[in-house]
């Protein structure tokens, strides 16, 4: 488990509120009766699929909420670091079975996939730790730093309830004034897309990459002006290779 300091109370509270909303959606969805249309001889199998995925989804969200509650308790002084390390682990939880998922209605499938993506975000602590690492070092070395972050929306993003787009990628741009007065601008992506190989898009585990600022501009349509000139990866094309970030030692400022 990552050090508790790698995730701050502000992030925990935001995730906790998001988890409560998602959990309420799950409760409402699976409490309703008659979710399945008549499917003839396959109706019984479809109902079994619904029951199995309901159990899997509610358990997944229970694990997520419990993990967040443990971290809230730690930051409120109700748990020691030892207790958090012992009881605050987030176990990997199996994803839904595609065969059973295909038997469910589109809204239910979208909700289940939303819980899987939320759990994956909690389990991908590198992204959560990255901003804290940079801000902590800025404090320690009296550096001035600004952090900008947001989602990457694409035409093929999944939608929830036909209205809410669920991005598969998130970006972060960090601007830092270093001790010698020079400027540094670095960019990062958290994505389920493999950025190391030229592969067709396929969903997989979230990974964090350091990329050129120009790459974030290219995929978001944003313009960071001259900041791209102070990027240590400025010589890398916007579609060039990315650096995998597995820990603080991999960050290039």
Q: What is the spatial distance between Cα 112 and Cα 98, in angstroms, rounded to a whole number?
A: 11
Q: Examine the pLDDT at 238 and tell me if it is beyond 80.
A: no
The CATH architecture annotation of domain 4-123 reads Orthogonal Bundle (1.10)
Radius of gyration of the CA atoms of the chain, in A: 21
158 bridge partner residues: 166
Contact 119, 94 (CB under 8 A): no
What's the whole-model pTM score?
A: 0.52
At residue 242, the pLDDT reads 62
pLDDT tens-place string over residues 70-99: 989 988 999 888 888 777 777 666 678 888
Higher per-residue confidence, 102 vs 194 = 102
Residue ranges of alpha helices (H) inside the chain are: 9-31, 43-75, 81-87, 98-101, 106-123, 125-140, 213-220
Buried b (16+ CB within 10 A) or exposed e, 143-175: bebeeeeeebeeeeeeebeeeeeebbbbbbbbb
Residues of the chain with CATH 1.10.8: 4-123
């Amino acid at each position: 488990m990552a050090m508790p300091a790698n995730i701050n109370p502000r992030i925990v509270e935001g995730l906790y509120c998001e988890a409560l909303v998602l959990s309420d959606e799950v409760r409402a969805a699976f409490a309703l009766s008659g979710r399945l249309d008549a499917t003839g001889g396959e109706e019984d199998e479809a109902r079994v699929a619904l029951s199995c995925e309901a159990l899997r989804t509610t358990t997944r969200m229970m694990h997520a909420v419990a993990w967040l509650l443990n971290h809230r308790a730690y930051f409120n002084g109700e748990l020691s670091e030892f207790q958090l390390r012992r009881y605050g682990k987030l176990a990997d939880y199996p994803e839904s079975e595609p065969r059973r998922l295909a038997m469910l209605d589109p809204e239910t499938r979208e909700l289940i996939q939303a819980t899987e993506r939320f759990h994956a975000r909690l389990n991908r602590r590198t992204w959560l730790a990255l901003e804290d690492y940079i801000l902590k070092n800025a404090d320690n070395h009296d550096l001035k730093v600004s952090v900008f972050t947001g989602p990457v929306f694409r035409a093929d993003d999944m939608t929830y309830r036909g209205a809410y787009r669920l991005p598969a990628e998130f970006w972060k741009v960090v601007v830092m004034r270093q001790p010698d007065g020079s400027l540094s601008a670095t960019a990062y992506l958290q994505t389920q897309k493999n950025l190391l190989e030229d592969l067709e898009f396929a969903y997989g585990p979230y990974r964090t990459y350091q990329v050129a600022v120009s790459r974030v501009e290219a995929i978001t349509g944003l313009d960071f002006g001259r900041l791209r000139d102070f990027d240590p990866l400025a010589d890398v094309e916007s579609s060039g290779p990315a650096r995998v970030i597995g820990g603080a030692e991999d960050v290039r400022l």
